[in-house]
Amino acid sequence: MKVKVKPFVITGCARSATGYVAKLLAALGIHCGHEKAFNLNRHGLFRHEGDSSWLAAPWLSCLVDEVVVFHQTRHPVSQIRSAVRTRIRYPYPRIRYERFMVQHCSALPMNMGVLDFYKTYWYYWNQLIEESGRVTKRYRIEDMGVELLQSILDLIGVTLDERVLQKALTSVPTNYNTRPRVTRESDTSITWGTLPLTVTTMGRKYGYEDRIDIR
């Protein structure tokens, strides 16, 4: 008999590997959409057991109590580098997403330069998620492994053999949906030392330091 999975949402910043986790859960037989229930055109229309989407962040407080909410974080340097790469490579569609960010986070003026925008975004978007009061579990994507994966499954009512989890972790590439580097400068100009104090303070609270395990 199929186990009833508790409805869940995984959210975080854009470019924080929500697509990878959706793929990972799908490999385990869990119907997790990627930006299906939460995207630019809709919010909260569940057609899967769960949804993994950074666009869910503004709507967390609207979710019914039974929905399990996961806050997935990524090292700020890695996330900001990835966001800037994507912005440079795909400028038009990214502007639409940036308008969404600004609409739901007034501290993000559109007239900021790309680098400053995403450095500011990492802090305020994570703060938005924290202040929703709906987070069931926060975890770092860099820590993804059998133990963390099982702890996520426990909260949605799923128990699987460790060998099944390991197989899924091995089969789904961690660079799923990775964006290629546009220029060397787009990466080297973003370091821990160039981040605002608000970002490094929050980063340390999440367990990050001046060290990057890039995914």
CATH code of the domain covering residue 24: 3.40.50
CA 62 to chain centre: 19
Q: Is there a domain that residue 214 lies in? A: no
Count of Cβ atoms closer than 10 Å to residue 156 Cβ = 21
In this prediction the pTM is 0.91
Name the domain count of the chain: 1
**Which pLDDT value is given to residue 85?**
86
pLDDT band at 149 (very low <50, low <70, confident <90, very high): very high
3-state secondary structure (DSSP) of residue 108: coil
Residue 211 lies inside a defined structural domain of this protein: no
Q: Which of 65-69, 85-89, 146-150, 204-208 has the lowest mean pLDDT?
A: 85-89
> What is the rounded CA–CA span in Å between residue 69 and residue 7?
9
Buried b (16+ CB within 10 A) or exposed e, 172-186: beeeeebbeeeeeeb
Higher-pLDDT residue of 73 and 178 is 73
Domain range enclosing 74: 8-205
